[in-house]
Amino acid sequence: METLRYKWENLPLRKCFLYTLIGSVFLALSLSALIFFSCHIFQTWLFPQSNGLYLTIEKTNSDGTMSNTMYYLEEGADLTNFPSLSMNEAANQSKHEISTKYAIKKIEQSFDTLSSKRKLAYRLCQGVMVIAPALLMVLALIFCTMLIYRKKLKQPLFLLEQAAANITAQNLDFAIVYENQDELGDLCKSFEQMRKALYENNQTLWKMLEERKLYQASIAHDLRNPITIIKGYSEYLKSGIKTHDWDKEKICHIVEQMDQAASRLAQYTEMVHTLNIAEEMSIQKHPFHALRLLKPMMDDFQLLCEHKHIDFQITDVLADMEILVDEVLLQRILENVMDNALRNAQTSIQIKSTLHDHQLVITIQDDGKAFPAHMRRSTVLFYDENNRIGIGLAISRMLCKKHGGDLKIYNSAFGACVEILLAV
């Protein structure tokens, strides 16, 4: 029984409707045939027996009036009990009768021979025989429609209606669960996939907006120092002009400090511009062989390390397989991370590249100063007080997320470690 129910619930809508319609029509035809046969039997019963006889005696009286008497006889019955047939006609006539006629007829299946009640019953049977099949066919179609709606349409339509209402209300924290494997089941699964995609996109967008706010807050915080310096020295210069208290060495120092503050302001402005460019970059993935793609980049990094007298070690655990990646984006990420490593490494940098679960994982370690704990826990990478984490890592993390991955920082026994993950 459970097997039949499972097959029924997972039937395609077209087959389900066809089977239900055939079953309903067959049931309607069966009931129509039963009603028709029953009415036919009843109509037959309303008529007299077909093997019976009528004895008709028609008398004409002297006054011109006529009388007609009918007697029901069964075929083969003894007629001696009927004196009108066993006696001489002349002797049987009375003085008022002019003539008497006798007729024996076999009963015909004639409607006219029925009584008024039987005629009414006969007509009702005819009406039922005509109306019942049409009525049963209409009821079969209504039953088929209601069954299909209740068993196959009601639940998925309700789920889809609720889902549409939730999405309209910007609520994506729900799930569409419909287990039947029919067309509506596929539709519900597609709707659920769309909901998940919208939910993930909203989460990604929300995280990007939050990160952007943090980036802006970080820059705004860092802008306070050079602005404060410039403002303070401006006030000093104003007071010096009023009192004519000039110290040439002091003025040179002030100009130098103000120049450095202006340079920092220009640097922060460039940071904002760079972040905006990174956010607007579009991803264009193309197929590349993993080893052939990374080798020219590794050769360039090897040359940079040699110029700085830093030992450069490469560990490739990559199969020579094809991957889908944005070459320009990958190169920019690696350049930013390597620039950070080169600025902080003391004697050595190690790079390891692997493929795992459709992700390209590139780990870059240097033996410089470790990442501070509060920056490792942070979801946003930016400058700290020791300039250990720069704008390059912040941009790289943003680009990794655009490529369906992430950028992680942690400390190992070797030193500071940056892990790049890209969906390929």
pLDDT at residue number 356: 80
Q: Are residues 311 and 390 in the same domain?
A: yes
Six token digits for residue 51: 């093997």
Residue 197 within a domain: no
pLDDT at residue number 131: 92
Six token digits for residue 110: 């004639």
Q: Are residues 299 and 152 in the same domain?
A: no
Q: Are residues 313 and 397 in the same domain?
A: yes
Residue 9 within a domain: yes
Of residues 382, 374, 383, 417, the one with CA closest to residue 398: 382
Q: Which residues contact 111 (CB under 8 A, 6 or more apart)?
A: 119, 122
Residue 277 within a domain: no
Please tell me the distance from the alpha carbon of residue 347 to that of residue 260, in angstroms, as a whole number. 30
Please tell me the distance from the alpha carbon of residue 18 to that of residue 273, in angstroms, as a whole number. 64
Residue 314 within a domain: yes
Q: Are residues 370 and 394 in the same domain?
A: yes
Q: Which residues contact 374 (CB under 8 A, 6 or more apart)?
A: 384
Of residues 328, 345, 320, the one with CA closest to residue 282: 328
Q: Are residues 67 and 124 in the same domain?
A: no
Q: Are residues 28 and 101 in the same domain?
A: no
Residue 22 within a domain: yes
pLDDT at residue number 113: 65
pLDDT at residue number 359: 86
Domain that holds residue 78: 52-108
Tell me which DSSP letter residue 402 carries: H
pLDDT at residue number 85: 47
pLDDT at residue number 35: 92
Residue 290 within a domain: yes
For 403, phi and psi rounded to 5 degrees?
A: -90, 10
Please tell me the distance from the alpha carbon of residue 100 to that of residue 69, in angstroms, as a whole number. 11
Q: How far is CA 344 from CA 128, 193, 300, 384, in A?
A: 100, 45, 18, 14
Six token digits for residue 150: 């209740």
Whether 314 and 296 have beta carbons less than 8 Å apart is answered as no
Residue 339 within a domain: yes
Whether 381 and 214 have beta carbons less than 8 Å apart is answered as no
Q: Are residues 59 and 102 in the same domain?
A: yes
Please tell me the distance from the alpha carbon of residue 365 to that of residue 350, in angstroms, as a whole number. 5
Six token digits for residue 99: 């003539």
Q: Are residues 94 and 130 in the same domain?
A: no
Q: Which residues contact 101 (CB under 8 A, 6 or more apart)?
A: 57, 58, 59
Residue 358 within a domain: yes
Q: Running along the chain, 424 residues long, what does each successive block of 10 average in pLDDT?
A: 70 84 91 92 75 67 72 59 48 54 59 76 90 92 89 88 89 86 86 90 81 71 76 77 69 80 78 73 84 85 88 79 87 87 89 86 89 59 48 79 86 88 88
Q: Are residues 6 and 61 in the same domain?
A: no
- Structural domain tally of the chain? 3
| SS3 per-residue string spanning 25-53 | HHHHHHHHHHHHHHHHHHHHHHCCCCCEE
Q: Which residues contact 389 (CB under 8 A, 6 or more apart)?
A: 340, 371, 375, 381, 382, 383, 409
Sign of the dihedral through C-alpha 335, 340, 341, 343: positive
Q: Is 74 helix (H, G, I), strand (E, B) or coil?
A: strand
Whether 392 and 339 have beta carbons less than 8 Å apart is answered as yes
Q: In terms of C-beta density within 10 A (0-12 exposed, 13-18 middle, 19 or more buried), how is residue 391 classed?
A: buried
73: which strand partners? Answer: 53
CA neighbours within 13 Å on the CB side: how many for 243? 9
pLDDT at residue number 239: 75
Six token digits for residue 151: 């068993």
CA angle 97, 102, 107 (to 5 degrees): 140
Q: Which of 162, 181, 197 is the last residue of a domain?
A: 162
Strand residue runs (E) in 107-237: none
pTM higher than 0.75 for the full model?
no
Six token digits for residue 159: 């789920």
Q: Are residues 56 and 97 in the same domain?
A: yes
Scan for tokens 């003025």, then name that residue. Answer: 251
pLDDT at residue number 375: 58
Q: Are residues 28 and 57 in the same domain?
A: no
The 10 Å CB-count burial string (b at 16+, else e) for 179-188 is ebebebbebb
Q: Which of 96, 129, 162 is the last residue of a domain?
A: 162
pLDDT at residue number 91: 46
For 107, phi and psi rounded to 5 degrees?
A: -70, 130
pLDDT at residue number 82: 53
Please tell me the distance from the alpha carbon of residue 351 to that of residue 333, in angstroms, as a whole number. 14
